[in-house]
Chains A and B, each alone.
Chain A
Amino acid sequence: MAHDGIGARLPRKEDRRFITGAGNYTDDIVVRNAAHAEFVRSPHAHARILRIDVSAALRAPGVIGVLTGAELADDKVGGLICGWMIHSKDGSPMRAAPYAPLARDVVRYVGNPVAIVVAETKNEARDAAELVEVEYEELASVVDPAAAQAPGAPQIHAEAPGNTIYQWALGDKGAVDRAFAGAAHRVEVDLINNRLVPNAIEPRAATAIYDRAEGRFTLYTTSQNPHVTRLVLSAFVGLAPEHKLRVVAPDVGGGFWSKIFIYPEETVCLWAARRLGVPVKWAADRRESFLADAHGRDHVTHAEMAFDASHKIVGLRVKTIANLGAYMSTFSSSVPTYLYATLLSGQYDIPAIYAEVDAVYTNTTPVDAYRGAGRPEATYVVERLMDIAARRLRIDAAEIRRKNFIRSFPHQTPVIMNYDTGDYEASLNAALSAARYAEFPARRAEARSRGKLRGIGLSCYIEACGLAPSQAVGSLGGGVGLWESAEVRVNPVGTIEVLTGSHSHGQGHETTFAQLVAERFGVPTDQVSIIHGDTDKVQFGMGTYGSRSAAVGMSAVNKALERVEAKARRIAAHLMEAAESDVELKGGEFVVAGTDKKIAFANVALAAYTAHNLPPGTEPGLKEGAFYDPVNFTFPAGTYVCEVEVDPKTGAVEIVQFTAADDFGTIVNPMIVEGQVHGGLAQGIGQALLEGCRYDRDSGQLVTATFMDYAMPRARDLVSFNVSTTATPCKTNPLGIKGCGEAGAIGSPAAVINAIANAIGVERIEMPATAQRVWETCRAAQAAVAAQ
């Protein structure tokens, strides 16, 4: 039997349905008599709704109903929530304003849903939506986070004076002030972490069904965490109690966090299905995805770093304004706080750190987590500062990092985190060697002979994955526990079904989770099924985001497997008339040590179900469940090296080489892990070079609302990546897994920007480093040289 346990490069079990067109995505699901929904959305960034007239729409062909915020309020449907409480530094709770699924009095961003039109066909719904008349009184708007708090800025919610949601701080201000006062060198930088649109290629979709006979709802939806969706819709929005609401997330076409949040559209479809008495189907088009899916990043930051005379960091001070958009999305408050400032120590031994974060409302689409979620922003701050410091202090970019690495573990940072293990020098060395860093000057000289400016940039990132433990998350304001559940069902014939609360939307859980079972029980992976994404099948779970599925989800599976093994061993020992302590599980068989007695795992399963001959007091069956709550975060880390060539005549940037050396601890399937890194790198490089979500400052219109205006990375924008791993297994979970899903997006933007800055010979260039921006920067740099 081929080895398909932990460490095998096993091709994916789930592939066949996707490559043959047999995937089952939400919009593919056909429900008899389903009606189609179209949302009427605000065309204004900020306006008062004076009047809504739905009479013409109601008369249109095929229309079943048109519902507005007034009906929603009549039915006492609750508002959407932000599930993480943040307190300002003065102790006051964050100023979260109500978030109605359909705006009733005021619209606060372009795309804010105002009404839902339900008709027999999609085209009829679209046509009728055009007939809904909404009279608005336009109000002044603000889209720029740096302008939102200014005196006289338009006021978006009465609950948040000055549009300020919270003014939060972390760290020891006094210690940082003292460190700066005594420092030999100080560097500072102003940065914008550009606003991004997640853009999973499958747009969000939902089909909502209400079964009148049972009083029970079913929601098929593009979700990364169906159980959390059910919990919020039950406990907060109040649409149905949990046992009367089934949420199914079938095949989901990418998420990147954007399909975690509980949004207005799915909520309204569910309510409309009951109110109108028909199943309601909705699928966003891409323009709607741009307007209505939570955006990411959007930070404005000033940061300063202080060094002693030997170039050791003595202090870091950061001030960030984070744009949360027009309403607070599900996890939005946690992103620029506990997922950001807690990572500002990077890979470095920094004795004093102080961060202040102001979160603000603006007249833009809500902003929440996007791949990396706070950690890319933190890495960008730290790694830009390290590069600028290296340049100013005239030392090598690798050496200044090496000099400041944390070298003993566990390491307590000044910003909450306790790193369990790592070897930052190992990944730095691996990356430098793979990137042929030492020979870079020759490549630069050769490029110069062709008129190109060649640059190299490093980024040594760290991230915290598998947010945990639940008690700590709760003490920091989190509204949910962040454990995971699993159930392992061994069938009488020895095939195995694993139910997990994790959700796979590209990560390959059907393969990797099966590899874990194969490793322990020696059964081929094709005899293992992984079941996820349906609240009727899996009792509860927290879903997939934050690179948590392997570290937390598989740890839960592992715990259930241990319990199954213990019971199976007891039965096997009884059947072989041996002492339990003499029985070992090897290659799919229980063997009695030192004898030729053995029994196949499948036969033990059969014995468990026939129950003809079980040890006294043993219940029939072979099925165990487990909940796993991690004791700490995991801390993947690594070094990325980007090498670029800039054409100073056009500003075009070509990535000529990108090298990644990551430490993810134990790796279950290297092929899948490499794929995760590739995808993350593409998104991070996209942020650095191409992607920028833009609002018109005056009108508040989203001007990048199609793939023609928002530059997504395409194949020719990228190169084949040079990826490798080093490993220090995580010490706080049983499998040693750290997680790999977000690293690429976290580490790469700084590497790209550092490389461009290095090529041009400047300190600063903003993301996205478009050809125009690079050309302007080259011109300014040339002018500065000429002026000297």
Chain B
Amino acid sequence: MAQINVKVNGRAVSKQVEDRTLLVEFLRETLGLTGTHVGCDTGQCGACVVHLDGRAVKSCTMIAAQASGSEITTIEGLAKGDELHPMQAAFHRHHALQCGFCTPGMIMTAVDLLRRIPHPDEATIRANLDGNLCRCTGYHNIVKAIAAVAESGAGV
């Protein structure tokens, strides 16, 4: 068994889990944070993206024990109470989601994208979404939502 000490969405958590537990399994099954999703098993789809010490990571390609000592933000921790993060608000306003399954990972990736590159052009946005699959939107409105947040300067 592995001892995991992490801060998740601002709350300190200490748990013992089976050594092979993936970070995404720890979040979903041990902590009940089911907003982080699993859409594949090869690190391709990005539905599981969370922030680890402020950077986007795929929580399906990381053992939970590797995250011990880190601060993790999941989609559940992005809004400030009832106030949506600007990226969440933009996804809503621009209809950047349909079934909603890829959305948490997509939003976490998008927030990280603007942290790294505050003013990307369309090609840069598209290139930086390479690790996230969406089967519903054709990415059109996702790109639009991210560009709108970048333009407003409210992204970070």
Which A residues have a C-beta under 8 Å from some C-beta of B? 11-12, 14-23, 25, 27-28, 30, 123, 199-203, 251-256, 283, 285-287, 505-508, 671-672, 674-675, 678-683, 706-708, 712-716, 718, 720-721, 744
Contact = CB atoms under 8 A, between A and B. Distances in A.
A545 to B, nearest CB: 14
Given A21-B33, A21-B74, A30-B32, A254 B140 contact: no
A707 B92 contact: no
A538 B156 CA distance: 44
Nearest to A680: B138
Contact of B95 (A12, A286, A714): A12
A15 B91 contact: yes
Contacts of A256: 135
Contacts of A27: 34, 38
B138 A253 contact: no
Nearest to B92: A15
A715 B35 contact: no
A707 B100 contact: no
B102 interface: yes
A287 B84 CA distance: 35
A116 to B, nearest CB: 20
A286 B41 contact: yes
Nearest to B44: A707
Contact of B100 (A18, A286, A708): A18
Closest 6 CB pairs of A and B: A21-B35, A253-B101, A18-B100, A682-B138, A506-B99, A506-B98
B95 A506 contact: no
Given A682-B135, A682-B139, A716-B127, 6 more contacts: A12-B92, A18-B97, A253-B102, A507-B98, A682-B137, A715-B125
A14 B34 CA distance: 17
B133 A25 contact: no
A18 B103 contact: yes
A207 to B, nearest CB: 13
A25 B47 CA distance: 13
B36 interface: yes
B99 A202 contact: yes
Interface in B67-98: 74-76, 78-79, 84, 88, 91-93, 95, 97-98
14 contacts: A18-B97, A18-B103, A19-B88, A20-B75, A20-B79, A506-B100, A671-B95, A679-B135, A679-B137, A706-B42, A707-B133, A714-B139, A715-B139, A715-B143
B92 A254 contact: no
Contacts of B143: 715, 720
B98 A285 contact: no
A639 to B, nearest CB: 18
Contacts of B28: 28
A15 B95 CA distance: 9
A19 B96 CA distance: 10
B40 interface: yes
B93 A201 contact: no
Most A CB within 10 A of own CB, among B35, B36, B47, B122: B35
A201 B45 contact: yes
Contacts of A672: 95
B101 A201 contact: yes
Interface of B: 18, 20, 28, 32-42, 44-45, 47, 74-76, 78-79, 84, 88, 91-93, 95, 97-104, 107, 122-123, 125-127, 129-130, 132-144
B36 A16 contact: no
A341 B18 CA distance: 55
Most B CB within 10 A of own CB, among A30, A254, A505: A254
A203 B127 CA distance: 25
A718 B99 contact: no
Contacts of A200: 99, 101, 135
B42 A708 contact: yes
Contact of A720 (B42, B102, B144): B144
Contact of A715 (B34, B39, B44, B142): B142
B100 to A, nearest CB: 3
Interface of B is mostly: loop
Nearest to B47: A201
Contacts of B98: 254, 506-508, 675, 679
Given A19-B107, A20-B88, A682-B138, A285 B101 contact: no
Contacts of B107: 19
Most A CB within 10 A of own CB, among B36, B135, B142: B135
A505 B141 contact: no
B18 A22 contact: no
A286 B40 CA distance: 5
A744 B36 CA distance: 29
B148 to A, nearest CB: 13
B99 A706 contact: no
A201 B103 CA distance: 10
Nearest to A252: B99
B135 A25 contact: no
B108 to A, nearest CB: 10
Contacts of B95: 11-12, 671-672, 674-675
B42 A253 contact: no
Contacts of B100: 14-15, 17-19, 23, 251, 253, 506
Contacts of A15: 91-92, 97, 100
Contacts of A287: 41
A676 B44 CA distance: 24
B117 to A, nearest CB: 14
A254 B101 contact: yes
A140 to B, nearest CB: 31
Given A12-B92, A25-B101, A506 B42 contact: no
A21 B76 contact: yes
A369 to B, nearest CB: 16
A105 to B, nearest CB: 31
A283 B47 CA distance: 15
A716 B129 contact: yes
Given A672-B95, A716-B127, A19 B135 contact: no
A505 B79 CA distance: 24
Contacts of B97: 15, 18-19
Most B CB within 10 A of own CB, among A19, A674, A707, A744: A19
B135 A683 contact: yes
A100 to B, nearest CB: 27
B85 to A, nearest CB: 9
Most A CB within 10 A of own CB, among B36, B40, B76, B132: B40
Nearest to A15: B92
Contacts of B84: 19-20
A252 B28 CA distance: 17
A14 B103 CA distance: 13
A199 B38 CA distance: 13
Contact of B130 (A18, A28, A203, A716): A716
Contact of B136 (A506, A671, A674, A721): A506
B67 to A, nearest CB: 18
B39 A203 contact: yes
B69 to A, nearest CB: 24
A11 B98 CA distance: 11
A253 B105 CA distance: 13
Nearest to B124: A716
Contacts of B138: 678-683, 713, 718, 721, 744
Contacts of A283: 38
B18 A715 contact: no
A125 B10 CA distance: 34
A721 B137 CA distance: 11
Nearest to A677: B138
A683 B140 CA distance: 13
A202 B101 contact: yes
A19 B45 contact: no
